Amino acid sequence: MAARLVSFSPCAVALVSACICLSISAAWAAPVKNGFDLGDATVPVDEIRQGGPPRDGIPSIDEPRFVLGSASKLSPSDRVLGVFVGGVAKAYPIGILNWHEIVNDRFGDQRIVVTFCPLCGTGMAFDARVAGRERTFGVSGLLYNSDVLLYDRESESLWSQIAKSAVSGTLKGEHLNPVVTTHTTWADWQRRYPGTVVLSENTGHVRDYGRDPYRGYESSRDVYFPVARTDPRYHPKERVIGLELNGQVKAYPFVELSQGSARLADRVGDQPVIVEFDAEQQTGRVLDQHGVELPTVIAFWFAWSAFHPQGEVYRSGS
């Protein structure tokens, strides 16, 4: 049986071509990754990368349980992220945060979200009330500049941890208010706050919290995911204290702080500050001129400099 040839009019061909072009244009205009529409993203979409796990593949802890510090099995040198709000002190072991990255918690009447990005070494806590509503957060499975992108379940907006702002969704452009955190050893935190409680390993998930899934990462020069820009002045994993104050940003590399005194008077913009560095515990903090601790973040250099390429950097002796 002979094949039948079908011819199309020029108008039909033009219509089909137009539909194909519109479909392609729509795909480019509204890219979707891990179920999130990135069509309105404020950062380049091609720099938002899938980290591997799907949305919530790294499960947040939404009903955290705590034990008394005296009942904790932590070793003195174990790293914790400490938060003190409203007279309540809580320690979040990095060994747990490595596996969950987000803890939706409450300090009295205030909802706080505690976040940690193992790839950037950044532990940050925020007031979870945004735009007049309490939010709960999850792990999107997406990264920007190798840093975790959170999402709030109420609006499904994506939030950059280090930038402290929503990069897509209906809350795009909103900012998170940071809470003072302390990234230090368990011994140091317990000394500061003897009555502290500790996040329990009874998280509702089965994980080997005694095993570090990122073992060796913090000492290597390797960065698992590309960032927009790199700065070779320091080892990529050099730890820095990152401070943002009145629109000015400044980084204090540990290697620079270790060459001076434990207490440093400095200025960020026109604001005087005091930087305190504890080389033994590998931690530090920044106080304002009235002695009030300011929200800071301890981060790997590559991550801080990727987000703040024009930011000031403290140099010892300068």
Tens of pLDDT, residues 121-176: 999 999 999 999 999 999 999 999 999 999 999 999 999 999 999 999 999 999 99
Percent of the chain clearing pLDDT 90 (strictly above): 90
Q: How many CB atoms are located within 10 Å of the residue 15 CB? A: 12
Q: Please check the confidence at residue 16 and state whether its pLDDT lies above 50.
A: no
Q: Does residue 301 form part of some domain? A: yes
| 143 and 91 in a common domain | yes
| 165 and 85 in a common domain | yes
Q: Does residue 185 form part of some domain? A: yes
List Cα–Cα distances, 193 to 187, 190, 226, in angstroms. 10, 5, 39
Q: Please check the confidence at residue 13 and state whether its pLDDT lies above 90.
A: no
| 251 and 132 in a common domain | no
pLDDT at position 30, please?
Answer: 60
158-160 and 147-152 beta bridge pairing: antiparallel
- Whole-number average pLDDT of the chain: 92
| 178 and 52 in a common domain | yes
Q: Please check the confidence at residue 62 and state whether its pLDDT lies above 90.
A: yes
Indicate the residue among 149, 184, 199 that finishes a domain.
199
Q: How far apart, in whole angstroms, are the C-alpha atoms of residue 303 and residue 223? A: 10
| 234 and 166 in a common domain | no
Q: Does residue 10 form part of some domain? A: no
Q: How far apart, in whole angstroms, are the C-alpha atoms of residue 198 and residue 94? A: 11
Encoding tokens for residue 276? 């305190």
Phi, psi of 217 (to 5 degrees): -65, -45
Q: Does residue 1 form part of some domain? A: no
| 94 and 174 in a common domain | yes
pLDDT at position 317, please?
Answer: 83
pLDDT at position 35, please?
Answer: 96
pLDDT category of residue 318 using cuts at 50, 70 and 90: confident
pLDDT at position 26, please?
Answer: 41
Q: How many CB atoms are located within 10 Å of the residue 33 CB? A: 18
Q: Does residue 69 form part of some domain? A: yes
Q: Does residue 104 form part of some domain? A: yes
| 288 and 193 in a common domain | no
Q: What is the mean pLDDT of residues 53-70?
A: 97
pLDDT category of residue 10 using cuts at 50, 70 and 90: very low
| 138 and 53 in a common domain | yes
| 116 and 66 in a common domain | yes
| 246 and 186 in a common domain | no
DSSP H stretches of helix in the chain: 10-29, 94-100, 186-192, 254-257, 301-307
- CA 58-59-61 angle, 5° bins: 140
Q: Please check the confidence at residue 104 and state whether its pLDDT lies above 80.
A: yes
| 103 and 56 in a common domain | yes
Q: Does residue 259 form part of some domain? A: yes
Indicate the residue among 199, 216, 243 that finishes a domain.
199
Count up the domains in the chain and report the number: 2
Q: Does residue 295 form part of some domain? A: yes
| 246 and 300 in a common domain | yes
Range of the domain at 304: 229-313
pLDDT category of residue 214 using cuts at 50, 70 and 90: very high
